[in-house]
Amino acid sequence: MKKALAIALVALVALSGVFAGGAQESAAPAASDNLIVVGYAQVGAESDWRTANTQSFKSTFTEANGYRLIFDDAQQKQENQIKAIRSFIQQDVDYIVVAPVVETGWETVLKEAKDAGIPVILSDRMMDVSDPSLYTCWVGGNFIKEGEDAGKWLIDYLKKQGRSNEKINIVTLQGTIGASAQIGRTEGFGNIVKTQPNWNMLAMQTGEFTQAKGQEVMESFLKSYPDIDVVVAENDNMAFGAIDAIKAAGKTCGPNGDIIIISFDAVAAAFDSMIAGDMNVSVECNPLHGPRVAEIIQKLEKGETVDKIQYVVEEVFDTSMDLPAVKATRLY
Ligand code: AHR
């Protein structure tokens, strides 16, 4: 719970508009409240997945649920996240939650949080630190497994199409280089590529997890490589951009088209894209981490121990399924 001094400091910071590098949102606290104060250093707003993740935190960490959330949007910049964490430390929050933009470069600021006695919970993406005691725990998707699931799906799909022995030309639109979701999906899909001698990875380039950049990189892939069989987009928004580029180039994609589209996240718009016949498959990455992090905080409040690494169970969705029925059961 917040101390009186810390409450006064939060109020001062909120009122003076002295915020961290990103766009920080917080209501000025009442001096007598008993809320648990959580600072969330979010990556940005680069994708539908990220929007769903932000919404999950904002709808979980409410005053009605006993929390005050200080939310910072780092606009995909690590330096903004570091500034946000320092601002949370200065405000003496009860917990810091970080979805790190990239894995490396966090030791110094995590040490500052540890010295201040503030637990740091990692959500979604991981940090690569030499001292694991610098953070309390991590919860998120298994990105290597997601990449491997995508590769296994392609083996199975080509088999059903009678194309197992054909030469298959692949391009990959990678996420933000150095982000766990990029590292894991690239590695996982690469593990399966190694087992298929007839698969040929023509090119891999970052599309920064955004639709606009995904479209731009796909346009250049199409100019350089006239015979692409498969696009692996490391998130749905880059896949949407790639689909636009493919159509603009006069080609087709999806189950009845020239190019197979493999994607990740399984957001609502990906279901629409599969139902429309543009995308073949989306490997789920579940963004609803707000309640999971709240459960961790509640355990810590009671002095209970929590598992250091907590993977979320995820599925694979493709056009062989009753997608409208599945979509109707989903929350994002
Ligand atoms: O870290 C999760 C990834 O980040 C999601 O796949 C992507 O859409 C987001 O930007």
pLDDT score, position 8: 45
pLDDT band at 311 (very low <50, low <70, confident <90, very high): very high
Residues 323 and 193 in one domain: yes
pLDDT surpassing 90 at residue 97:
yes
Q: What is the 3-state secondary structure (H, E, C) of the chain?
A: CCCHHHHHHHHHHHHHCCCCCCEEECCCCCCCCCCEEEEEEECCCCCHHHHHHHHHHHHHCCCCCCEEEEEEECCCCHHHHHHHHHHHHHCCCCEEEECCCCCCCCHHHHHHHHHCCCCEEEECCCCCCCCHHHCCEEEECCHHHHHHHHHHHHHHHHHHCCCCCCCEEEEEEECCCCCHHHHHHHHHHHHHHCCCCCEEEEEEEECCCCHHHHHHHHHHHHHHCCCCCEEEECCHHHHHHHHHHHHHCCCCECCCCCEEEEEEECCHHHHHHHHCCCCCEEEECCCCCHHHHHHHHHHHHCCCCCCCEEECCCCEEECCCCHHHHHHCCCC
- pLDDT at 33 (0 to 100): 80
Report the distance separating Cα 48 and Cα 168, nearest Å: 30
For a mutational test of ligand 1's pocket, the pick from 42, 48, 49, 172, i.e. the residue with the most ligand atoms closer than 8 A to its C-beta, is 49
pLDDT tens by residue, 287-305: 999 999 999 999 999 999 9
Residue 13, pLDDT above cutoff 90: no
Mean pLDDT score, 19-44: 76
For the cut 50, the answer to whether the pLDDT of residue 3 exceeds it is: no
Q: Are 100 and 122 in contact (CB under 8 A)?
A: yes
208 Cβ inside 6 Å of ligand 1: no
The strand order across the sheet containing 95-98 reads: 23-25, 67-73, 36-42, 95-98, 120-123, 137-140, 309-311
Measured in Å, how far apart are the chain's first and last C-alpha atoms? Answer: 32
Ligand 1 contact via 40 beta carbon (within 6 Å)? no
Pocket of ligand 1 contains residue 285 by CB under 6 Å? yes
Q: Do 83 and 158 sit in the same domain of this protein?
A: no
pLDDT in tens, 106-126: 999 999 999 999 999 999 999
* pLDDT band with cut points at 50, 70 and 90 for residue 29: low
Query: Do 177 and 41 belong together in one domain?
Result: no
Res 203 pLDDT > 50: yes
Question: In Å, how far are 118, 171, 185 from 259, measured between CA atoms?
Answer: 49, 11, 20
pLDDT digits (tens, 9 = 90+) for 123-156: 999 999 999 999 999 999 999 999 999 999 999 9
Mode of pairing for the β-strands spanning 260-265 and 230-233: parallel
Same domain, yes or no: 121 and 253: no
Answer whether 98 contacts ligand 1 (Cβ < 6 A): no
Tens-digit pLDDT profile for residues 173-185 = 999 999 999 999 9
186 has a pLDDT exceeding 80: yes
Atom of ligand 1 nearest to the CA of 285: 6
Into how many domains does the chain fold?
Answer: 2
- Whole-number average pLDDT of the chain: 93
* Atom of ligand 1 lying closest to residue 237 CA: 8
Q: Within this chain, do residues 67 and 156 fall inside the same structural domain, yes or no? A: no
> Cα of 101 to ligand 1 centre, how many Å?
10
Share of residues in the chain with pLDDT > 90 (%): 90
> For a pocket test of ligand 1, which of 235, 238, 314 has the largest count of ligand atoms closer than 8 A to its C-beta?
235
Residue 281 and residue 291 share a domain: no
Residues 250-284: tens digit of each pLDDT: 999 999 999 999 999 999 999 999 999 999 999 99
Question: Which of the listed residues 102, 138, 265 should we mutate to test ligand 1's pocket, taking the one with most ligand atoms within 8 A of CB?
Answer: 265
Residue 123 shares a structural domain with residue 170? no
Whether the pLDDT of residue 211 is over 60: the answer is yes
188 & 265 share domain? yes
Residues 37-96 have pLDDT tens digits of 999 999 999 999 999 999 999 999 999 999 999 999 999 999 999 999 999 999 999 999
Backbone phi, psi, residue 108, to 5°: -65, -50
Does the pLDDT of residue 320 top 90, yes or no?
A: yes
Domain identity same for 181 and 48: no
Residues 134 and 182 in one domain: no
**Which protein residue's CA is at the shortest distance from atom 6 of ligand 1?**
235
* CA-closest residue to ligand 1 atom 3: 181
Domain membership of residue 66 as a residue range: 7-139+287-301
- 152 and 191 co-located in one domain: yes
